[in-house]
Structure 1
Amino acid sequence: MIQRVLTFFERYSFGVCTYLGEHLNISISKIRLFFIYTSFLSVGFPLVVYFFAGVVLDLRNYVKRARTRITDF
């Protein structure tokens, strides 16, 4: 059951922790724990930052895909 929940969040999350981990060379699990602990301590403010970063990353990927489709012609 726990594995199904983890798989769901891995598949449908925005990939913010993965993106930050790859660019900062930090373990992804440490970044996730940071978001979890700080959201408990600061009443959810990091979750707002996480969702905003997720939207920005989705827009960035959308623009990259649109550019490649235009240049493929």
Structure 2
Amino acid sequence: MRQARQALRRFDFRGVKCPINFVRTKIELEKVAVGDVIVIRIDAGEPLENVPRSLRLEGQEVLSQVENDDGTWTLEVQRNR
């Protein structure tokens, strides 16, 4: 397994509804090189269920999902394609 690079960009998508939060994540991933990592912050519930699943279906890798003190989640996502 190759080591992930340091996150280049961080995005706060709290309060952004599905599927817009996934679409914005996808757009930001397209701006970085294959192998690079971005960090996104999303709400619990539907976003937490749908965004990671949709990213995996697109061939991207969700490196981590960490719950924050405020109930939101931080995801590290590596661009694979």
Report if TM-score (shorter chain) is over 0.5.
Answer: no
TM-score, scaled to structure 2: 0.27
Higher relative CO (CA 8 A, sep ≥ 6), structure 1 or 2? 2
TM-score, scaled to structure 1: 0.29
| Structure with greater proportional strand content | 2
Larger Rg: 1
